[in-house]
Amino acid sequence: MLNILALVYRDQNKYKEATHLLNDALAIREKTLGKDHPAVAATLNNLAVLFGKRGKYKEAEPLCKRALGIREKVLGRSHPDVAKQLNNLALLCLNQAKYDEVEYYYKRALEIFESKLGADDPSVARTKNNLATCYLKQGKFKDAEALYKEILTRAHEKEFGSVNNDNKPIWMHAEEREESKSKQKDSGPYVEYGSWYKACKVDSPTVNTTLKSLGALYRRQGKLEAAETLEECASKSRKQGIDAINQSKVVELLKDGPGGGANRRHSRDGPGGRGDGEGDDAAEWNGEGNGSLRRSGSFGKIRDALRRSSEMLVKKLQGSGPQEPRNPGRGLSASNVDLTRRNSLIG
């Protein structure tokens, strides 16, 4: 119940109150369940995310590392939930410009996702986008470009089969168009390749973000025709509005050059700011190419139910409502809602 109340306070931006409740919840869980229980890892993650939202990355990092250690011990070093925790830890380190550690954590997470969930799992593309963000901040534009092309190539192969001279991913068409600037623009790749974005991007905001991010890189290199190709393809996606904030941040990084954005410790859209989500037991710092906190889609419905239930509880505790019913089957509580099973920690 303390965890639920903490989420309510967090949603109200009452971070101090939320921190106190989570610390109390952590002490109770450690005493009753043991220090290596998955529920303890979930609470540690909640605290780490809360500190991250306040820009206290140094305080958050050891909490996240402890949560990682618990998950590795209980689930094994190659469990997908461990990879999700690695993503959280990488983002905390990214905000401290610890790039070597960031690369290590993201690469390890990527290896786990690919081996356990397969190359086509959305977590793989998201993690590659996150790693590309790390490369952008270091000025490693070629490395970032290679990752973006990997994402687009895999998306193409998933829908249309192996790449060959007659079956090329969109970025290859874009580069061919750049090399053939003298040709009529009407014969651009989207005319002959119009089904690509329909098949691969309508349900994939990650691919859409990748198109825009690679387009931004092309612009930085002066490849305007290639950039326009990808940008037009991305603009046709039904989900184009989802990635507007993400793309603006990628462009900002490119404008700043190496290290750009590394000192923006309190960015409103970064892990210490007001991102898409806030990171509870089922939230994940797995942004779409910018490393921002993003709420796990699987948690949406249960999150709404928790909010309604906890708001009622707050009113009762404040004396504005009747006594809480004793029937445990009515409503939600920490004892009958195991959030740690919903892609916990970052997951």
At 213 the pLDDT is 93
Q: Residue 133: which of 171, 97, 81 has the closest Cα?
A: 97
Spatial separation of the C-alpha atoms in residues 295 and 305, rounded to whole Å:
15
Q: What are phi and psi of 164, to 5 degrees?
A: -150, -175
pLDDT given for residue 197 in this prediction: 54
**Beta strand ranges found along the chain (DSSP E):** none
- What pLDDT shows up at residue 9? 75
Contact 126, 119 (CB under 8 A): no
Q: What pLDDT score does 92 carry?
A: 96
Q: Which of 137-146, 261-270, 302-311 has the lowest mean pLDDT?
A: 261-270
Model's pTM, two decimal places?
0.69
pLDDT in tens, 238-263: 444 444 445 555 655 665 555 554 44
Q: What is the pLDDT of residues 108-151, one digit of tens each?
A: 999 999 999 999 999 999 999 999 999 999 999 999 999 999 99
Q: How do residues 167-202 score in pLDDT, each as one tens digit? A: 889 999 899 999 887 565 555 445 555 556 555 544
* Rounded Cα gap, residues 88 and 79, in angstroms: 15
Q: How many residues does the chain have?
A: 347
Q: Tell me, what's the pLDDT at 137?
A: 94
pLDDT of 327 higher than 60: no
Task: List Cβ<8 Å contacts ≥24 apart for 151-157.
Answer: 151/125, 151/206, 151/207, 151/210, 152/207, 152/210, 152/211, 152/214, 154/119, 154/120, 154/124, 154/125, 155/125, 155/200, 155/201, 155/204, 155/207, 156/196, 156/200
Q: What is the dihedral of CA 257, 259, 262, 267, to 10 degrees?
A: 0
Q: Evaluate if residue 72 carries a pLDDT over 70.
A: yes
Of 266 and 2, the one with more pLDDT: 2
Q: Chain centroid to CA 319: how far? A: 39
Question: What pLDDT sits at residue 90?
Answer: 97
- The pLDDT score that the predictor gives to residue 153 is 93
For residue 333, pLDDT over 50 is answered with no
pLDDT value, residue 43: 92
Q: How many CB atoms lie within 10 A of CB 316?
A: 14
Report the Cα 247 to chain-centroid distance in Å: 14
Domains and CATH numbers, the chain: 1-139+279-347 (1.25.40.10), 141-256 (1.25.40.10)
Ranges 38-52, 92-106, 179-193, most confident? 92-106
10-31 pLDDT per residue, tens: 777 788 888 888 888 899 999 9
In whole angstroms, what is the distance from residue 84 CA to residue 346 CA?
5
Given this model, what pLDDT does residue 141 score? 95
Higher pLDDT among residues 19 and 319, named by residue: 19
Collect contacts of 140-149 with beta carbons under 8 A, ≥24 apart: 141/217, 141/220, 141/221, 141/254, 144/213, 144/217, 145/214, 145/217, 148/210, 148/213, 148/214, 148/217, 149/214
Collapse the DSSP code of 284 into the 3-class scheme (helix H, G, I; strand E, B; otherwise coil) and give the result.
strand
CA distance 133 to 105: 13
Give the Cα separation of 269 and 302 in Å (integer): 24
Range with the poorest average pLDDT among 53-57, 77-81, 239-243: 239-243
Average pLDDT taken over every residue of the chain: 75
> What is the arithmetic mean of pLDDT over 82-88?
96
Q: Reduce the DSSP state of residue 283 to 3 states and report it.
A: coil
What pLDDT does residue 206 have?
86
- Integer CA distances (angstroms), 49 to 58, 110, 281, 317, in order: 12, 21, 10, 26
Mean pLDDT of 213-237: 89
Tens of pLDDT, residues 276-296: 333 334 344 433 334 444 444
